[in-house]
Amino acid sequence: EVQLVESGGGLVKPGESLRLSCAASGFIFSDTWMTWVRQNAGKGLEWVGRIKAKADGGTTDYAAPVKGRFSISRDDSKNTLYLQMNSPKTEDTAVYYCAKFRGWGWIDFWGQGTLVTVSS
Amino acid sequence: DIVMTQSPDSLAVSLGERATINCKSSQSVLYSSNNDNYVAWYQQKPGQPPKLLIYWASTRESGVPDRFSGSGSGTDFTLTISSLQAEDVAVYYCQQYYNTPYTFGQGTKLEIK
């Protein structure tokens, strides 16, 4: 059974840092492209970024609003995905979902999400 | 960036009736080399993460009821629920994966009339 369990969310002040983790199980994590998607309260879905499998280069891509501030990484030995959030802004407040790709770019499984609140 | 625009924003349909949700992309998401449309559809119920319904614009995900179908090509896409059931009340999103940044439509809220 596929499982994605996010952790690390909470209250963070603007300009501080926060790291989210996503523990994966039930599939071959090292072969899988992974992504983070966020959702503001009562709002729609916003793609944050993705990381390819190491066999495909392990490269990352980011949405413009977070590029240069957020960083996605992976530890295949621990089956864990990370989102490093540096210099967060109040507009980064959202539920952050860890999710896995199947194929080119559709998401076939999502975690339950972790809430990040950026406020002073 | 490719902008995905859904219509309507909300929709109320009677049980057993057809529901149709539209999604328009700001540029074609049809890849000519394989003739595939890089569009997926998701369903999100309150308090839950989204769930994949359709990919390649018209391929139903395993386990998704066959009352859900996707169609369209190029820039215009449609999600159809042929006979609305009570459990279909949700917000539906389209997404393009033609290129990054991957983008979602704003969502369509489906309710029972």
Q: How confident is the model at residue A31 (pLDDT cuts 50, 70, 90)?
A: very high
Residue pairs spanning A and B at CB distance below 8 A = 58
Average pLDDT over residues A34-56: 94
Dihedral over Cα of B84, B45, A102, A37: its sign: positive
Residues constituting chain A = 120
Please list every residue in chain A whose beta carbon sits closer than 8 Å to the beta carbon of residue B100.
50, 61
Order of strands across the sheet with B4-7?
A: B4-7, B19-25, B76-81, B68-73
Q: Which two tokens stand for residue B43?
A: 């369903």
Please list every residue in chain B whose beta carbon sits closer than 8 Å to the beta carbon of residue A111.
49
Asked if the Cβ–Cβ distance from A45 to B93 is below 8 Å, we say: yes
pLDDT of amino acid A42: 76
- Cβ pair B23, B34 in contact under 8 A: no
At A9, the amino acid letter reads G
Q: Half-sphere exposure of residue A53, counting CA atoms within 13 Å on the CB side?
A: 14
Asked if the Cβ–Cβ distance from A47 to B52 is below 8 Å, we say: no
- Cβ pair A96, A20 in contact under 8 A: yes
Is A115 in CB contact (< 8 Å) with chain B? Answer: no
d(CA B80, CA A66): 34
**DSSP labels for B31-47?**
ETTTTEE-EEEEEE-TT
Residue A46 has pLDDT above 90, yes or no: yes
pLDDT of amino acid A69: 98
Please list every residue in chain B whose beta carbon sits closer than 8 Å to the beta carbon of residue A46.
104
Q: How confident is the model at residue A41 (pLDDT cuts 50, 70, 90)?
A: confident
Asked if the Cβ–Cβ distance from A47 to B104 is below 8 Å, we say: yes
At B14, the amino acid letter reads S
Suggest the residue from B102, B103, B106, B109 to mutate for an interface test with chain A (most A CBs closer than 10 A). B102
The pLDDT tens digits of the residues spanning B9-65 come to 999 999 999 999 999 999 999 999 999 999 999 999 999 999 999 999 999 999 999
d(CA B112, CA B42): 19
β-partners of residue A80 are A23, A75
d(CA B80, CA B84): 10
